[in-house]
């Protein structure tokens, strides 16, 4: 496919600004997470956009923690956010900033607005402020404190800072227009009193600036050119511009783009936090979570995520993307790169009666048919093997090409074997072992007389196999909420089959010392990642990233018809 570069609307703006010399040819973006949770794949869209634009146009991208809410923020989140951005393949160089670095400057700007008669200290309670604000259909009412004179405002603001007043008793508000049709312009709160310890500034402050006041000025201080944010900030842009214009400082432009939404999951830190706290998942990095930490543990690669984001693109109209596209991008990436190995998830013992006891042969296995440079490896083959229980049927249906009494199959890279008999558990009657015979002339899997054998099964040598726990995952949320159930009623929306753990799985011997994070294709079963968190001595734990069946093509086709 020819690489044709079509510009999204943000890159078009950037190119136009470069052409007209709007910011002296500079491109400077930032990614401004609030450290109140782990990053999810929606954030990856914003990260990818901001860092890639900087890269593509020879610019810079800052990382700035928007840490203005001391009650919600924690160091753990700061660390995880930095780790995740690096993992995605981006770097902020020496430009790591915190909004809290600017608390002093922001205070001075607030004083300046008071002196200009553009801000006032208000004694209304939070409830009263809400009440005075009016609604979309009704204008608000002026606060009775709106016309305090500058001297009194300066004095009260200084005393707010000095800690003289209790939480919630006063605020500093911008003096704009209580009748503005944009509710954000109805004298928004700039500062609130909060006697709380901040993760960086400790107890230095007991008043904290609000997001809208902080964000535009932080952008201005860092001389950002294009302040890209998701669409919910569109109605805040007027306020962003108002603060910067009134103060007459350097003025970046805010540009809004549509948030990424995905089917079968939630992309909101608040909701993800609930999932963790209510115990619906085990942790922020549970492999079912759409967090970057969860996706990484699941076996997602940064390359697959970036390819997914490239395909999703950047636009203004909100859309919900099928999660199958994300899975498709991972399959494509791993198909090209992942080593093929053999792993038996539900083992059934298979004994080759005519194979000499104690003999072990080494057979050669191709590591990746998609990548000839990946080479081959040796696998032990012996008299006792494990095969997949689901590859045997006593009473096979039509077109069954796997094992059944009297049927011959190929053991991948090994020999042809025929099932002669079964051994049953005397009490339950369950088949516990297959008694087979092999064709000694069929090494490599081809019959000497050219007879056709259609089924090819994976297997592992029983005495050499290593034990593992394997976890299979399905989408976190049900496809449709059950009748009368809200989408966020997690109790009833979680897919009860989203996680299945199988223990006693048998892997080929080379996987015994796989590094955590190793990703392989278990032949015929999917792609799996050695769990970095849970793997333990003697029994590794593997998470299934995706199955081999790609459902994206079907969805895409029905959409294009649609």
Least distance from C-beta 260 to ligand ATP, angstroms?
Answer: 4
Which of 120, 115, 239, 210 lies closest to 174 in space, CA to CA? 120
Q: Is 8 in the site for ligand ATP (CB under 6 A)?
A: no
Active-site residue, from 170, 173, 269, 288 = 269
Q: Which span sits near ligand ATP by CB under 6 A: 37-45, 121-129, 459-467, 554-562?
A: 37-45
Least distance from C-beta 33 to ligand ATP, angstroms?
Answer: 4
Q: What are phi and psi of 129, to 5 degrees?
A: -60, -45
Binding mask 174-213 for ligand ATP (x = CB under 6 A): ----------------------------------------
Residue whose CB is nearest to ligand ATP in the complex, by number: 42
Contact with ligand ATP (CB under 6 A) among 33, 290, 294, 299: 33
Count other Cβ atoms within 10 Å, centred on residue 232: 10
CA-to-CA dists, residue 286 to 475, 487, 521, 543, angstroms: 12, 20, 21, 10
Contact with ligand ATP (CB under 6 A) among 230, 283, 367, 547: 230
Count other Cβ atoms within 10 Å, centred on residue 162: 10
Least distance from C-beta 72 to ligand ATP, angstroms?
Answer: 10
For residue 237, indicate whether it is catalytic. no
Give the residue with the Cβ less far from ligand ATP, 318 or 463. 318
Least distance from C-beta 139 to ligand ATP, angstroms?
Answer: 29
Q: Is 34 in the site for ligand ATP (CB under 6 A)?
A: yes
Give the residue with the Cβ less far from ligand ATP, 46 or 207. 46
Q: Is 239 in the site for ligand ATP (CB under 6 A)?
A: no
Give the residue with the Cβ less far from ligand ATP, 267 or 326. 267
For residue 269, indicate whether it is catalytic. yes
- With residues binned 3-state (H G I as helix, E B as strand, rest as coil), the percentages for the chain, rounded to 5, are 30, 25, 45
Binding mask 261-280 for ligand ATP (x = CB under 6 A): ------xxxx----------
Which of 462, 467, 453, 464 lies closest to 419 in space, CA to CA? 453
CA-to-CA dists, residue 466 to 376, 387, 537, angstroms: 20, 14, 11
Buried b (16+ CB within 10 A) or exposed e, 6-32: eeeebbebbeebbeeeebeebbbbbbb
Which of 21, 28, 91 lies closest to 59 in space, CA to CA? 28
Least distance from C-beta 45 to ligand ATP, angstroms?
Answer: 4
For residue 337, indicate whether it is catalytic. no
Contact with ligand ATP (CB under 6 A) among 11, 28, 45, 471: 45
Rounded CA separation 51/62 (Å): 8
Contact with ligand ATP (CB under 6 A) among 190, 229, 341, 434: 229
Active-site residue, from 34, 246, 539, 556 = 34
Contact with ligand ATP (CB under 6 A) among 10, 14, 42, 210: 42
CA-to-CA dists, residue 256 to 49, 234, 259, 318, 483, angstroms: 12, 6, 9, 11, 35
Q: Are 45 and 256 in contact (CB under 8 A)?
A: no
Least distance from C-beta 285 to ligand ATP, angstroms?
Answer: 16
Contact with ligand ATP (CB under 6 A) among 260, 309, 312, 457: 260
Give the residue with the Cβ less far from ligand ATP, 84 or 187. 84
Q: Is 259 in the site for ligand ATP (CB under 6 A)?
A: yes
Q: Is 361 in the site for ligand ATP (CB under 6 A)?
A: no
Give the residue with the Cβ less far from ligand ATP, 66 or 324. 66
Q: Are 85 and 31 in contact (CB under 8 A)?
A: yes
431 - beta bridge partners? Answer: 424
Least distance from C-beta 269 to ligand ATP, angstroms?
Answer: 3
Q: Which span sits near ligand ATP by CB under 6 A: 42-50, 345-353, 408-416, 417-425?
A: 42-50
Task: Count the residues of the shown chain that bind ligand ATP, applying the rule CB under 6 A.
Answer: 15
Cα dihedral value 229, 107, 270, 137, nearest 10? -70
Which of 269, 213, 222, 268 lies closest to 241 in space, CA to CA? 213
Q: Is 46 in the site for ligand ATP (CB under 6 A)?
A: yes
Q: Are 312 and 323 in contact (CB under 8 A)?
A: no
Query: Which residues are within 8 A (CB) of 456 and not within 5 positions of it... i.e. 6 or more apart?
Result: 409, 410, 411, 412, 445
Count other Cβ atoms within 10 Å, centred on residue 365: 19
Q: What are phi and psi of 394, to 5 degrees?
A: -70, -35
Give the residue with the Cβ less far from ligand ATP, 325 or 374. 325
Q: Which span sits near ligand ATP by CB under 6 A: 31-39, 168-176, 202-210, 302-310?
A: 31-39
| E strands, 129-269, in order | 171-174, 189-193, 207-209, 226-230, 253-257, 260-262
Q: Is 61 in the site for ligand ATP (CB under 6 A)?
A: no
Q: Are 389 and 346 in contact (CB under 8 A)?
A: yes
Active-site residue, from 259, 271, 349, 389 = 259
Least distance from C-beta 458 to ligand ATP, angstroms?
Answer: 39
Catalytically annotated residues: 34, 259, 269
Q: Which residues bind to ligand ATP, rule: CB under 6 A?
A: 32-34, 42-43, 45-46, 229-230, 259-260, 267-270
């Amino acid at each position: 496919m020819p690489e044709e570069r079509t510009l999204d609307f943000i890159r078009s703006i950037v190119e136009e600004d470069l052409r007209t010399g709007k910011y002296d040819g500079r491109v400077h973006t930032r990614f401004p997470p609030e450290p109140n949770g782990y990053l999810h794949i929606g954030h990856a869209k914003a990260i990818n956009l901001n860092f890639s634009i900087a890269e593509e146009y020879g610019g810079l991208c800052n990382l700035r923690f928007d840490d203005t809410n001391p009650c919600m923020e924690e160091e753990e989140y700061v660390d995880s956010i930095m780790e995740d951005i690096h993992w995605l393949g981006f770097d902020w160089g020496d430009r790591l900033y915190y909004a809290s670095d600017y608390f002093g400057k922001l205070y001075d700007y607030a004083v300046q607005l008071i002196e200009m008669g553009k801000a006032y200290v208000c004694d209304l309670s939070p409830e009263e402020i809400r009440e005075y604000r009016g609604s979309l259909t009704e204008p608000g009412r002026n606060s009775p404190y709106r016309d305090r004179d500058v001297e009194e405002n300066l004095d009260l603001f200084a005393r707010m800072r000095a800690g003289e007043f209790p939480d919630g008793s006063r605020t500093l508000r911008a003096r704009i227009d209580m009748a503005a049709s944009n509710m954000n312009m109805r004298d928004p709160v700039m500062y609130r009193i909060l006697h709380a310890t901040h993760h960086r500034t400790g107890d230095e402050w007991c008043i904290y600036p609000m997001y809208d006041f902080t964000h535009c000025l932080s952008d201005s201080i860092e001389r950002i050119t294009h302040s890209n944010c998701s669409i919910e900030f569109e109605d805040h842009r007027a306020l962003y511009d108002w603060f910067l214009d009134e103060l007459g400082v350097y003025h970046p432009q805010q540009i809004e783009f549509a948030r990424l939404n995905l089917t079968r999951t939630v992309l909101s830190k608040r909701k993800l936090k609930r999932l963790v706290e209510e115990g619906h998942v085990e942790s922020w990095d549970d492999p079912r979570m759409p967090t970057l930490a969860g996706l990484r543990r699941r076996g997602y690669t940064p390359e697959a995520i970036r390819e997914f984001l490239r395909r999703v693109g950047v636009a203004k109209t909100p859309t919900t993307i099928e999660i199958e596209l994300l899975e498709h991008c991972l399959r494509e990436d791993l198909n090209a790169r992942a080593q093929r190995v053999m792993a038996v998830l539900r083992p059934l013992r298979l004994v080759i009666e005519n194979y000499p006891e104690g003999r072990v042969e080494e057979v050669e296995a191709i590591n990746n048919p998609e990548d000839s440079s990946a080479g081959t490896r040796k696998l032990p083959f012996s008299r006792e093997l494990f095969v997949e229980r689901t590859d045997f049927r006593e009473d096979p249906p039509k077109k069954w090409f796997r094992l059944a009494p009297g049927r011959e199959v190929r053991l991948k890279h090994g020999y042809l074997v025929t099932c002669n008999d079964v051994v049953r558990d005397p009490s339950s009657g369950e088949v516990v072992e297959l008694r087979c015979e092999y064709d000694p002339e069929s090494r490599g899997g081809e019959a000497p007389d050219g007879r056709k054998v259609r089924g090819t099964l994976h297997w592992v040598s029983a005495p050499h196999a290593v034990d593992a726990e394997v976890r299979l995952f399905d989408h976190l949320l049900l496809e449709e909420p059950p009748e009368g159930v809200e989408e966020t009623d997690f109790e009833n929306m979680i897919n009860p089959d989203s996680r299945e753990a199988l223990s006693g799985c048998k892997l080929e011997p080379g996987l015994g010392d796989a590094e955590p994070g190793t990703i392989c294709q278990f032949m015929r079963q999917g792609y799996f990642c050695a769990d970095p968190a849970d793997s333990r001595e003697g029994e590794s734990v593997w998470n299934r990233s995706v199955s081999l069946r790609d459902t994206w093509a079907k969805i895409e086709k029905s959409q294009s018809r649609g």
